[in-house]
Structure 1
Amino acid sequence: MSESFRRRLHLLAFIALSAVELYRTFQTGYPPVFSPFDSLLLLTAMFVLLSGLMKTGKGGTILSAIFIVSMFFVPYRIKEIPPIVRTPLFILHVFSAMIAYAVFISLSIVALLDIKDKKLNFKKPLTAGFFFFTTSMIVGGTWAYLAWADLFPLEPKSLFSLFLWLYSAFLIHVETDRTFNKFKHILIIACGGFVLFSYFGINFLLGGTHGF
């Protein structure tokens, strides 16, 4: 599979996924990102797009296919969303988190492919992922305070998100640190695993306020 064909394939898949999300948004009058299906749909769309733009090779395409297939095993019926969730803050919180997740997962694949050559610099994409994740943390905390008067709920997702935020900040530092720089590929690959655990492991299994 040529790189140009792979990118076109990812773009077409992103357009199709976005069309589904738009259709479901028009059905409800707002992005239904509260449901497990639409949350996974959004993450899949972001990952399909970003992994197509980055040099993730066949690994990015295979994982994109796995994400798409997994959507068929999640209930797709749209349920009425509480008014407290239908706010711009919550929607921005979810969208920015999914973009950050997609960046980190894509980077973990790129790092895996570059682990032998060690030619790539990851600072700019890591900074972009950190920016979106920071936005998600700040907006999410603001929304939680306004909704429940609780800035930082002590539950699995919030605690692990704090760890992931600190870890992504550490990864940016790794790029300029001679001691840790030689381990950066392994550390970035691990970040992708942490993101997958944060989304699938906590949201679908451990529950809490972020559980489906």
Structure 2
Amino acid sequence: MPPYTIVYFPVQGRCEAMRMLLADQDQSWKEEVVMLDSWYQSPLKASCLYGQLPKFQDGDLTLYQSNAILRHLGRSFGLYGKDQQEAALVDMVNDGVEDIRSKYIALIYTNYEAGKNDYVKALPTHLKPFETLLSQNKGGQAFIVGDQISFADYNLLDLLLTHKVLAPSCLDAFPLLSAYVSRLSGRPKVKAFLASPDHVNRPINANGKQ
């Protein structure tokens, strides 16, 4: 039995970054898929600590909150920077990713038709800090922090891939970010994951908008 179980809806959503991380770290995991139409009346919802998914099992440890899960995996696999200073920067990057992800989720589920144009226009302002961070780290030729991959890299990569679907030209003004996406997507295990039927056939969001 795989040591990890992801309990989530049949979408990429907030779990694709952790799936990508596990795949790249050569880990196996089990998926327990929860259908949306049964979720709201299910005993599972009532049993979840915050009444929401994802739920993540690591042996006898049960975790909720996607960013807490990513940080746990970061600690488990040495994906949290080489020292305390880098760890602080990794946390900062991950919080920056969460800021954009929250805006994206609000757009997708509450204001897609009316808000998409304004969202895409504002996107360069939100992406620029990541381009700046890359430029300050080995000229943008490495990872977002330091010289080894971190859990924040997987989260940022997932966010950027999602936004390239929403706005295909969104990285055109950011050569370092664009190269970063190509570089990380080309890591053999990440490339295999992104090409896998599980990833390709899993919708990004639950309402079909992307």
* TM-score computed with the length of structure 1 as normaliser: 0.32
User: Greater strand percent: which structure?
Assistant: 2
Structure with the bigger RCO (C-alpha within 8 Å, sep 6+) is 2
